[in-house]
């Protein structure tokens, strides 16, 4: 297996792509060919067995024994509270929730980040890399999941940039109370797009340093997400292809669904679901990606408060196979804050994708309606993915996080204005059937360990200082 850049003919082996994170030209690595994997090959297989098939293809320069050790170490009941790693939950005859929040940080990022350090370490061993610093931007969930996965791992350090005022209270507490001698969460005076751009700029300016990424720009983060689509559909074994509704921010989860579809998973349409930061809704509706006059809106679903969706670049390459065109689109986005597809290109995308968006008030009403009618309490990101128009097609709604990470939205939904965040979570536990993860309960009493907050123009200097200290530790 070889990987190539979305913007040029630059190539890399799987382990090189994992270690580099970004391609030297600023593009993202993509597999030169996608695996053909019919769903029938996955029926009656465990999550771990499906992972083995997929990883053996996409990471074929990593020894098989190392891959098996990684799978066994990452996907087990010590790290996931559900015996099947994920849960497929029926809502009605045609609708299922794919619950991805049974990992150590109660968000879908655990599905990929639990195995990420093992893939990184195996790649480091292949290339005799002594130390690697992981740089990550987060809108709320990735940062905690990455730090939890990498804490105290020899040879690895991690710095996480997050918007100081752009996460939920619980997300911030998860990062600020993080254990580990090699972790460094940094709150910046800006939004997620500022954090993501700072990381990308740092990679471009310091390609000589031993650094990589734990964001879904790294193929070691992206490709493990394909597993749970195969796993869920192998359990349901539908007679007709299903629609996948994906709460979407940086587009990694939706792209993984697209890759699964292209590999042979019986997916009919992928529905991109956004909040008031609906640049992706506009793009999939009009073919125009335009952030010229947009300002990021803080919503009930902070992990989707994103205007520049990095993984869209990979989709454009997969669909049109033209690195020059992709490079020009990304250049236009960087220089002019917009790019446009022609009508034929938009029509082709619409054969695979639909889109919807929800306001805060619609998110609240969806949460309340679902709870009152079905007794199911979902987090605000998952709420945005409930179909807004009736559909007879079988569908899977990707449920990305535990409701216990977002007490503020339930304050609004259930008129709990006088309660503190943790009192609201106790109320939810008492009045719903949703599992309250112990690691979230314990945040009430955990000491704050990290309180670094900086202006965004100081990011480069702070990261250079952190990297220098870690490499000489």
Residues 111-153: tens digit of each pLDDT: 999 999 999 999 999 999 999 999 999 988 999 999 999 999 9
pLDDT value, residue 472: 81
Task: Please choose, from the candidates 407, 411, 414, 413, the residue with its C-alpha nearest in 3D space to the C-alpha of residue 106.
Answer: 407
**Is the pLDDT reported for residue 77 higher than 90?**
yes
Burial 9-18 (b: 16+ CB within 10 A, else e): ebebbbbbbb
Rg (the chain; Cα; Å): 21
CA 138 to chain centre: 9
With contact defined as beta carbons under 8 Å apart, do 404 and 436 qualify?
yes
CATH number of the domain to which 231 belongs: 3.40.50.1100
Confidence label for 2 from pLDDT (cuts 50, 70 and 90): very high
**Is the pLDDT reported for residue 473 higher than 80?**
no
With contact defined as beta carbons under 8 Å apart, do 326 and 318 qualify?
no
d(CA 125, CA 119): 10
Residue 119 lies in a domain: no
Side-chain-side CA neighbours of residue 225 (13 Å): 27
With contact defined as beta carbons under 8 Å apart, do 221 and 214 qualify?
yes
pLDDT value, residue 168: 93
254, with CB counted inside 10 A (0-12, 13-18, 19+), is buried
Q: Give Dmax over CA atoms of the chain in angstroms.
A: 60
pLDDT value, residue 390: 85
**Is the pLDDT reported for residue 263 higher than 80?**
yes
Q: Per the structure block, which two tokens stand in for 49?
A: 């067995």
d(CA 263, CA 257): 10
Residue 22 lies in a domain: no
What distances in angstroms separate CA 190 from CA 274, 284, 376, one per listed residue? 21, 27, 34
Confidence label for 307 from pLDDT (cuts 50, 70 and 90): very high
Residue 462 lies in a domain: no
pLDDT in tens, 392-414: 999 999 999 999 999 999 999 99
Round the average pLDDT of the chain to a whole number and report it: 96
CA 407 to chain centre: 21
Question: Which pairing describes strands 452-455 and 183-189: parallel, antiparallel, or unpaired?
Answer: parallel
Residue 341 lies in a domain: yes
pLDDT value, residue 389: 87
**Is the pLDDT reported for residue 432 higher than 80?**
yes
pLDDT value, residue 322: 98
Burial 147-178 (b: 16+ CB within 10 A, else e): bbbbbebeebbbbbbbbbebbbebbbbbbbbb
pTM to 2 decimals? 0.96
Confidence label for 207 from pLDDT (cuts 50, 70 and 90): confident
Residue 384 lies in a domain: yes
Q: Per the structure block, which two tokens stand in for 111?
A: 């599905």
* Structural domain boundaries enclosing 323: 87-106+223-444
Q: Which residue has the higher pLDDT, 204 or 365?
A: 365
pLDDT value, residue 416: 97
d(CA 468, CA 473): 9
Total number of domains constituting the chain: 1
Residue 283 lies in a domain: yes
pLDDT in tens, 365-378: 999 999 999 999 99
Residue 174 lies in a domain: no
With contact defined as beta carbons under 8 Å apart, do 71 and 52 qualify?
yes
pLDDT value, residue 140: 86
The helix (run of H) or strand (run of E) holding residue 97 is strand 95-99
DSSP codes joined into one string, 386-428? S-SS---S-EEEEE-B-GGG-HHHHHHHTT-TTS-HHHHHHHH
Residue 69 lies in a domain: no
């Amino acid at each position: 297996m070889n990987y190539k850049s979305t913007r040029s003919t630059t190539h890399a082996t799987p382990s090189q792509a994992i270690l580099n994170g970004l391609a030297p030209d600023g593009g993202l690595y993509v597999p030169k060919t996608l695996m053909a994997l019919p769903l029938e090959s996955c029926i009656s297989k465990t999550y771990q067995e499906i992972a083995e098939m997929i990883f053996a293809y996409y990471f074929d320069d990593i020894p098989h024994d190392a891959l098996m050790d990684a799978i066994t170490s990452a996907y087990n009941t010590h790290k996931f509270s559900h015996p099947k790693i994920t849960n497929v939950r029926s809502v009605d005859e045609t609708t299922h929730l794919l619950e991805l929040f049974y990992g150590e940080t109660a968000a879908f990022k655990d599905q990929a980040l639990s195995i990420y350090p093992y893939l990184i370490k195996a790649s480091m061993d292949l290339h005799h890399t002594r130390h690697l610093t992981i740089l990550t931007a987060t809108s709320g969930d990735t940062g905690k999941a990455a730090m939890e996965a990498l804490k105290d791992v020899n040879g690895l350090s991690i710095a996480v940039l997050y918007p100081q005022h752009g996460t939920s209270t619980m997300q911030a507490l998860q990062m600020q109370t993080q254990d580990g001698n090699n972790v460094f969460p940094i709150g910046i005076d800006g939004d997620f797009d500022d954090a993501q751009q700072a990381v990308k700029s740092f990679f471009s300016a310091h390609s000589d340093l031993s650094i990589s990424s734990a964001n879904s720009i790294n193929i070691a983060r992206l490709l493990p997400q394909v597993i749970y689509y195969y796993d869920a559909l192998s359990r349901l074994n539908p007679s007709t292809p299903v629609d996948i509704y994906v709460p979407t921010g940086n587009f990694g989860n939706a792209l993984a669904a697209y890759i699964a579809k292209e590999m042979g998973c019986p997916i009919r349409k992928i529905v991109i679901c956004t909040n008031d930061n609906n640049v992706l809704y506009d793009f999939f509706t009009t073919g125009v990606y335009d952030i010229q006059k947009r300002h990021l809106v803080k919503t009930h679903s902070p992990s989707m408060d994103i205007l520049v969706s990095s993984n869209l670049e990979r989709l454009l390459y997969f669909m049109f196979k033209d690195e020059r065109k992709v490079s020009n689109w990304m250049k236009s986005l960087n220089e002019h804050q917009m790019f446009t597809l022609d009508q034929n290109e938009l029509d082709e995308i619409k054969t695979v994708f639909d889109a919807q968006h929800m306001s805060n008030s619609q998110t609240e009403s969806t949460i309340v309606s679902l709870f009152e009618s079905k007794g199911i309490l979902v987090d605000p990101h998952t709420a945005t993915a409930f179909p807004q128009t009736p559909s007879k097609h079988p569908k899977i709604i990707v449920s990305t996080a535990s409701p216990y990470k977002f007490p503020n939205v339930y304050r609004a939904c259930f008129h709990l204005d006088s309660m503190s965040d943790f009192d609201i979570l106790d109320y939810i536990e008492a009045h719903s059937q949703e599992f309250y993860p112990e690691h979230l309960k314990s945040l009430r009493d955990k000491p704050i360990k990290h309180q670094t907050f900086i202006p965004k123009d100081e990011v480069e200097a702070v990261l250079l200082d952190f990297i220098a200290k870690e490499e000489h530790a």
